[in-house]
């Protein structure tokens, strides 16, 4: 509760742009009440976004998560009852559980918790793959080496960015 109050107190002082991503340890020192514990997050994702990135970052970050949740919910709702709906519903439930838990803990800062949840929400929001038309084979990615190389480059750049973000402060 104390950390939530600290984050809520930091937000009005820098409402538009916030104090900077990852700055809660500093704002904690400014707004803390004794006895002080060293903490890195306020243990509440919306308050963390508001304190660290202001209204702009909160609207972008929380809006993206909200839109992904809404898209997944709409996709599951439109599917006919059956196996695919049950599987996508389970993916949606896992993502929703992660989002609700983010209201009381710091899961956002744990890639091992956040990445699977966002991936599952993406799966739940995805469209159903259509089977190929009879007598026509779908094009193989191996027949289009430029596409495969471009996709590989994007994945490698994303992994390098992730590794750099984990190493750098």
Q: Is the pLDDT of residue 50 over 90?
A: no
Residues 6+ apart with CB under 8 A from 56: 16, 17, 18
What secondary structure letter does DSSP report for 34?
S
- Per residue in 70-127, pLDDT (tens digit) is 999 999 999 999 988 999 999 999 999 989 888 877 787 778 888 889 999 999 998 8
How far is 34 from 87, CA to CA, in rounded Å? 48
Written as six digits, the tokens of 104 are 């009381």
pLDDT higher than threshold 60 for residue 165: yes
| Whole-number Å distance between alpha carbons of 45 and 49 | 6
Residue 6 has pLDDT above 70, yes or no: no
pLDDT for the residue numbered 47: 77
**pLDDT number for residue 158:** 84
Distance CA 62, CA 35 (A): 31
121 or 143, greater pLDDT: 121
Pair 92, 70: CB distance under 8 Å: no
């Amino acid at each position: 509760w104390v950390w939530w109050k600290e984050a809520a107190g930091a937000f009005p002082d820098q409402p538009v742009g916030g104090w900077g991503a990852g700055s809660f340890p500093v704002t904690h020192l400014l707004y803390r009440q004794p006895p002080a514990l060293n903490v890195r997050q306020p243990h509440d994702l919306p308050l963390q976004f508001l304190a660290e990135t202001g209204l702009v970052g909160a609207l972008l970050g929380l809006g993206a998560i909200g839109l992904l949740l809404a898209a997944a919910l709409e996709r599951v709702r439109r599917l006919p009852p059956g196996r695919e709906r049950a599987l996508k519903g389970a993916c949606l439930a896992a993502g929703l559980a992660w989002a609700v838990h983010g209201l009381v803990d710091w899961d956002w800062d744990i890639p091992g918790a956040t990445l699977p949840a966002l991936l599952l929400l993406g799966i739940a929001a995805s469209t159903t793959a259509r089977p190929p038309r009879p007598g026509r084979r779908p094009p193989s990615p191996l027949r289009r080496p430029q596409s495969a190389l471009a996709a590989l480059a994007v994945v490698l750049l994303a992994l390098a960015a992730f590794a750099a973000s984990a190493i750098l402060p």
